[in-house]
């Protein structure tokens, strides 16, 4: 299957700082990428849809000014958690939609574990 990388894999930061997470599709172009968040023992919840060359679409309840998304190229989307607080500690995982096949499978990055102290 297609490969999606995500960096960093783990980050610990102080409250109030900003953290940037990168998501790259390595062997295909992705006009659409998705950002999910997963709290312990819970399912993945969609945060936002990242569209190349246009503004991201945020799910209800997700603050766009807190979770900044930039999709500047067909292979890179970034999520910046601004002024992070302990309640933002979570597992963040991105996916990229591979439109080459009929089923348009979404391939996921390995995820980023964020711990805000």
Partner 1 sequence: AQKITQTQPGMFVQEKEAVTLDCTYDTSDPSYGLFWYKQPSSGEMIFLIYQGSYDQQNATEGRYSLNFQKARKSANLVISASQLGDSAMYFCAPTGTGRRALTFGSGTRLQVQP
SS3 33: strand
Query: How near is the Cβ of 43 to partner 1 at its closest, in Å?
Result: 5
Query: How near is the Cβ of 16 to partner 1 at its closest, in Å?
Result: 26
Q: Is the separation of the CB atoms in 24 and 115 below 8 Å?
A: no
Pairing status of strand 112-116 against strand 10-13: parallel
Q: Is the separation of the CB atoms in 60 and 109 below 8 Å?
A: no
Nearer to partner 1, 10 or 85 (CB): 10
Nearer to partner 1, 75 or 97 (CB): 97
Nearer to partner 1, 63 or 104 (CB): 104
Ranges of H-type helices in the chain: none
Q: Is the separation of the CB atoms in 36 and 95 below 8 Å?
A: yes
Q: Which residues bind partner 1 (CB under 8 A)?
A: 1, 32, 34, 38, 42-46, 49, 91, 93, 95, 97, 102-111, 113
Nearer to partner 1, 15 or 39 (CB): 39
Residue with tokens 């993945």: 44
């Amino acid at each position: 299957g297609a490969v999606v990388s995500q960096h960093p894999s783990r980050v610990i930061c102080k409250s109030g700082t900003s953290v940037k997470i990168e998501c790259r599709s390595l062997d295909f172009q992705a006009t659409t990428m998705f950002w999910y968040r997963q709290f312990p023992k819970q399912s993945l919840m969609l945060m936002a849809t990242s569209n190349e060359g246009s503004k991201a679409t945020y799910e209800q309840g997700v603050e766009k000014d807190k979770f900044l998304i930039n999709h500047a190229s067909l292979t890179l989307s970034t999520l910046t958690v601004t002024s992070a607080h302990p309640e933002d500690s979570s597992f963040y995982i991105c996916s990229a939609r591979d439109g080459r096949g009929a089923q348009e499978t979404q391939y996921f990055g390995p995820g980023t574990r964020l711990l805000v102290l």
